[in-house]
Amino acid sequence: MYKIVRKESLNPTVTKMVIEAPMVAKKAKAGQFIILRVHEEGERIPLTVADYDREKGTITIIFQIVGGTTMELNRLKEGDFLQDFVGPLGKPSEVEGFKKVCVIGGGVGCAIAYPTAKALHENGAQVTSIAGFRNQDLVILEKEFQDVSDAYYLVSDDGSTGEKGLVTDVLKKLIENGEQFDEVIAIGPLIMMKFVCQLTKQYNIKTMVSMNPIMIDGTGMCGGCRLSVGGETKFACVDGPDFDGHLVDFDEAIARSSMYREFETRKREENCN
């Protein structure tokens, strides 16, 4: 059993939990994920390692309350226990050998982008972070990003915080002003990652994306995270979650991810009744 040592609401739909899991904390790296089960009959869900503390033996997870299981998870309090907490799984992000990197997070994707930005910073890279949200109420991890970034840009769709616009507007401006990035890393909604990749392709900047958002059970068995990369079939939970964004077939991934929306809505309604 794995104890919830801290719980914090980051915005109305996103919660942060710090979990006591010393064996996982010992090995976890940026870009990896864990699989948890809330209780014995619960479904397994994969969540990215948002942070870790090897000394305290804790792992931080950040999740959006979108479906049945995340609603159950969010009902737990500090001091409660999780049934299972397995990991770290997936390949770690590449964070060594870079001079200048731009890390882009969209919405709750910032929870996945943050540990990568932090690891790049710790490995001596100059980090420019761009975080995008629909509005100011949804902003998460602003201070954390600022602490590990040489430059931090905040944008919102409605202009209620930061600059009004899209993450790609800022990225385009930076590139046109002469910023030379070895790599761009984008994590967020599929549509955002698609447009970031379209832009960086024009400038021939290597771009990695995390396909974590399309994962379902994280075990390599459900097939939910299947995607095409450079014409080959891959599974985000086994072969990724990070992939060369210029090779990912985003249109196919977007079409597949919408298949699960109806199921999530049903589960959410069941949990509310």
Phi, psi of 45 (to 5 degrees): -130, 140
260 forms part of the interface with ligand FES (CB under 6 A): no
Q: Which is nearer to ligand FES, 57 or 224 (CB)?
A: 224
Pairing of strands 151-156, 163-164: parallel
Shortest distance (Å) from residue 221 CB to ligand FES: 6
Q: Rounded CA gap, 26 and 57, in Å? A: 7
Which residue shows structure tokens 């079939």? 233
Helix pair angle (250-257, 190-202), 10° resolution: 170
Shortest distance (Å) from residue 178 CB to ligand FES: 40
237 forms part of the interface with ligand FES (CB under 6 A): yes
216 forms part of the interface with ligand FES (CB under 6 A): yes
Q: Which is nearer to ligand FES, 76 or 222 (CB)?
A: 222
Which two tokens mark 194? Answer: 């698609």
Which two tokens mark 258? Answer: 């919408």
235 forms part of the interface with ligand FES (CB under 6 A): yes
Shortest distance (Å) from residue 46 CB to ligand FES: 6
Supply the DSSP symbol for 46.
E
Supply the DSSP symbol for 186.
E
Question: Which of these ranges, 58-66, 130-138, 205-213, 231-239, lies near ligand FES under the rule CB under 6 A?
Answer: 231-239
CA-closest candidate to residue 243, choices 195, 176, 193: 193
222 forms part of the interface with ligand FES (CB under 6 A): yes
Among 215, 227, 248, 253, binds ligand FES (CB under 6 A): 215
Q: Which is nearer to ligand FES, 199 or 214 (CB)?
A: 214
Contacts to ligand FES by CB under 6 A = 215-225, 235-237
